[in-house]
Structure 1
Amino acid sequence: MYDLLVVGAGPYGLSIASHAAAAGLSLRVLGRPMASWRDNMPRGMFLKSEPWASNLSDPERRLRLEVYCAGQGVEARHGEPIPVEMFASYGLWFARHAVPDVDERTVTRIAVVPGGFEAVTEDGEVLHARAVALAVGVLPFVEVPAALRELDPAYVSHSSHHSDLTRFHGKDVTVIGGGQAALETAALLAEQGTRVRVLARAGRLNWNDVPPPWERPWWRSARSPHSGLGPGWRNWFYAERPGLFRRLPETTRARVAATALGPAGAWWVRDRVEPAVEVLLGHEVAAAYGIPGGVRLESVSRSGELTSLDTEHVIAATGFRASRERLGLLADEVRGSLAAVADGSPQVGRDFESSVPGLFMAGLLTAAGFGPSMRFVHGASFTAGTLVRGVRRRLHTGTRGGRVPAPVLRSSKGALDAAGR
């Protein structure tokens, strides 16, 4: 039986595994390393976050992105975006140097058993661990507008479903959304010869400013400090003090997690969008119908005016919604026993432990607990060290890291499940 099973091998999973290995825990990591970065982002995309805010976390902080880039003959500079392909390669390099061998199989089911958990892999092998860390990324939580969900997938997709946009060359595509994913996808489509438009419900597009210089007068830094989520004291608090963020009232945390750092495009994509992409602002999709060769979208403006347009494909760049109900790999009795916060995501204690003893959460699932930084790679550093300390506490003393109530789990047969109660 392993001490810890890490499910997921993206930035959070690899960072957690690095800290767990350094702590001497018996460890198994499952998942294809950096899968979503390698398989679900088109070539030509860039990281929106600064290079220095995009490090995976090892305890000694030796395996930073800038170190990898330097080894490739590239300088990771403040204010210059890093290609997604380079970041994905960095993650693979990090895994080779900081993490025990990664088992690339997918976990299909996790259940509570006497002494801990059992995990079933895609080929039927059963693994046992005393604790589990779920670092499943964002793909299980894809959010598509209700009007589009029943349409033929050949004509409707989510922005995270594409590693290659060339299939849309010469076609007519409508991208729904007003954030970075929508705007950068639209820019890439336009640049390859696709007729593309952006349809957004906001009244205007928001653009991030060019970041201030790294070195600047002290008084400017004092007024608006740099942080992993951008300049300013509010962003600094979200990025650098997630432990304090967790002490805010639950309703405040849920609201901030949902609204802070709202949809906006990076400054470096603006000049690629404005001259080349049609933008329909203040429109929300009210209905959608399949037509021969595509989709008919009916949108409603803020004034109530209806607009109809036909397009060959719709890409919904409409983000993700993390909730316990979407954790399909958890056995029904485990998923149903997770305490949740106002937005439906699992409630976690100060060490990222859920209400199921020994089951820890990471990444987007914890944004309502620890703040907006959990939506970005930057949050992996705080998460990895804190979560592994919580695992060690759970393994060595049996105490919980926070105030999440521990429910009595019952199996599907109604017998007392083995959570140690």
Structure 2
Amino acid sequence: MYDLLVVGAGPYGLSIASHAAAAGLGLRVLGRPMASWRDHMPRGMFLKSEPWASSLSDPGGRLRLETYCAGRGVAARHGEPIPVEMFASYGLWFARNAVPDVDERMAVHVRGCPGGFEVLTDDGEVLRARTVALAVGVMPFVELPAALNGLGPERVSHSSRHADLSRFRGGDVTVIGGGQAALETAALLAEQGTRTRVLARAAGLSWNDVPPAWERPWWRSARAPHSGLGCGWRNWFYAERPGLFHRLPEPTRVRITAGALGPAGAWWVRDRVDRAVELMPGHEVTSAHRSGIGVRLETVDRDGRRARLETGHVIAATGFRARRERLGLLDDELRASLVALSDGAPAIGRGFESSVPGLFMAGLITASAYGPAMRFVHGAGFTADTLVRGVRRRLRTGPGGGRIPAPGGNLRQGEGLRQGSDLGHGTGR
């Protein structure tokens, strides 16, 4: 029986594994390294986060993004975005050097057992561990507007489903959303010859400013310090003090997480959008239907005026919503045992441990507990160190520290929902 089984091999899973290995824990990591970054983002995208805020975490800090880039003759400079392809390659390099024994099979089902957990892999093997860390990224939490349901993937898709946009070349695509995923996807579509429009609920699009110079007068730094989530004291608090954020009252944490760092495009994509993309802010889709060319959208603007438009395909860049019921990887009884917050996310306690003793969580699913940094790669460092300390504390207390649910019977191949296990879009973007 392993001390810790990490489900997911994205930035959070690999960082946790690196810290766990250094702590001497009996460890197994399941998942294809950096799968979301490799399989769910089209070529030509860039990280929105600064290079210095986009490193995975190893205890010695030797395997940082700038180290990888320097070894390939590339400077990772402040204010210069890093291509997603380079970041994905960096993650693979990190895995080879910090977590060389990643098991690329997928975990498809997790349930409690006496003394710990049983995890079923996609080829039918059952692995047992005293503790489990779910670092499943964002893909289980894809959010599509209800108005788009039922049209099928040939007409409607989520922005995270596209590693290649070339299928839309020469066509007509409507992108829904006002954040970076929507705006960068629209720019890439337009640049390949696709007629592209962006439809967003907000009255106007928001754009991040060009970041101030790294070295600047002390008084400017004092007024608005740099942080892994942008300049300003509020962002600094979210980025650098997740432990203090966790001490805030639950309603406050949930409210802040829902509204902080709202949809906005990076400064370096603005010109690309303005010159090539039709922009329709202040519009909301009320219904969608199949049509001769693809989809007919019914919309309403902020003044109540209704309109109709025809498009070949709709890409919904509408984000992710981390809710307990979307953790289909978990056995029904185990999932039902999770205490949920008012926004539907699992309650996460000290050391990133859920309300089920021995079941730990990382990444987007923990944002309502530890703050907006958990939506970005920058949060992986705090998470990895804190979570591994929590695992060691749980291992010391043993089963007597809290009974882990142990439903009767054994796992059978094929039980439960098959779910991917990696972190990708949404972190560092």
Deviation per CA, 1:331-377: give whole Å up to 9, x if none. Answer: 00000010111111110112000010100000000000000000000
Partner of 2:169: 169
Q: How many residues align?
A: 409
Correspondence list, 1:240-259, <5 A: 240-259=240-259
* Letter of the structure 2 residue corresponding to residue 297 of structure 1: L
* 2:24 pairs with 1:28: no
Q: SS of the counterpart of 1:275? A: helix
Task: Give me the whole-angstrom Cα distance separating, in 2, the residues matched to 1:398 and 1:81.
Answer: 45
Correspondence list, 1:289-368, <5 A: 289-368=289-368
Partner of 2:285: 285
CA shift for structure 1 position 293: 3.2
Deviation per CA, 1:192-228: give whole Å up to 9, x if none. Answer: 0000000000000000000000000111100000000
* 2:52 pairs with 1:88: no
Provide the TM-score with structure 2 as the length reference: 0.94
Task: Give me the whole-angstrom Cα distance separating, in 1, the residues matched to 2:111 and 2:385.
Answer: 25
CA shift for structure 1 position 407: 8.1
Provide the TM-score with structure 1 as the length reference: 0.95
- Contact in 1 for aligned 2:225/2:232 (Cα 8 Å): yes
**Structure 1 residue ranges without an equivalent (≥5):** 414-421
Q: SS of the counterpart of 1:103? A: coil
Task: Give me the whole-angstrom Cα distance separating, in 2, the residues matched to 1:303 and 1:183.
Answer: 24
- Contact in 2 for aligned 1:358/1:391 (Cα 8 Å): yes
Structure 1 residues 412 and 264, CA gap change in structure 2 (3 angstroms): farther
Deviation per CA, 1:279-306: give whole Å up to 9, x if none. Answer: 1111111000011230000011111111
Identity of aligned residues (%): 76
- Contact in 2 for aligned 1:152/1:290 (Cα 8 Å): no
Partner of 1:417: none
Q: SS of the counterpart of 1:225? A: coil
Task: Give me the whole-angstrom Cα distance separating, in 2, the residues matched to 1:85 and 1:410.
Answer: 42
- Contact in 1 for aligned 2:174/2:315 (Cα 8 Å): yes
> What is the alpha-carbon root mean square deviation over aligned residues?
1.4
* Letter of the structure 2 residue corresponding to residue 315 of structure 1: I
Partner of 2:383: 383
Partner of 1:201: 201
* 2:391 pairs with 1:395: no
Partner of 2:407: 411
Deviation per CA, 1:142-172: give whole Å up to 9, x if none. Answer: 0000011211210100000000001100000
CA shift for structure 1 position 100: 3.6
Task: Give me the whole-angstrom Cα distance separating, in 2, the residues matched to 1:231 and 1:222.
Answer: 10
Task: Give me the whole-angstrom Cα distance separating, in 1, the residues matched to 2:265 and 2:92.
Answer: 28
- Contact in 2 for aligned 1:243/1:350 (Cα 8 Å): no
Structure 1 residues 53 and 67, CA gap change in structure 2 (3 angstroms): same
- Contact in 2 for aligned 1:175/1:196 (Cα 8 Å): yes
Task: Give me the whole-angstrom Cα distance separating, in 1, the residues matched to 2:71 and 2:57.
Answer: 18
CA shift for structure 1 position 408: 7.7
CA shift for structure 1 position 412: 7.2
CA shift for structure 1 position 109: 0.4
CA shift for structure 1 position 396: 1.5
Partner of 2:226: 226
Structure 1 residues 114 and 356, CA gap change in structure 2 (3 angstroms): same
Q: SS of the counterpart of 1:378? A: helix
Q: SS of the counterpart of 1:274? A: helix
* 2:213 pairs with 1:217: no
User: Which structure's relative contact order is higher, taking Cα pairs within 8 Å and 6+ residues apart?
Assistant: 2
Task: Give me the whole-angstrom Cα distance separating, in 2, the residues matched to 1:122 and 1:393.
Answer: 30
Structure 1 residues 400 and 196, CA gap change in structure 2 (3 angstroms): farther
Partner of 1:43: 43
- Contact in 1 for aligned 2:56/2:91 (Cα 8 Å): yes
CA shift for structure 1 position 399: 9.1
CA shift for structure 1 position 247: 0.8
Partner of 2:370: 370
Q: SS of the counterpart of 2:351? A: coil
- Contact in 2 for aligned 1:21/1:100 (Cα 8 Å): no
Partner of 1:101: 101
CA shift for structure 1 position 42: 0.3
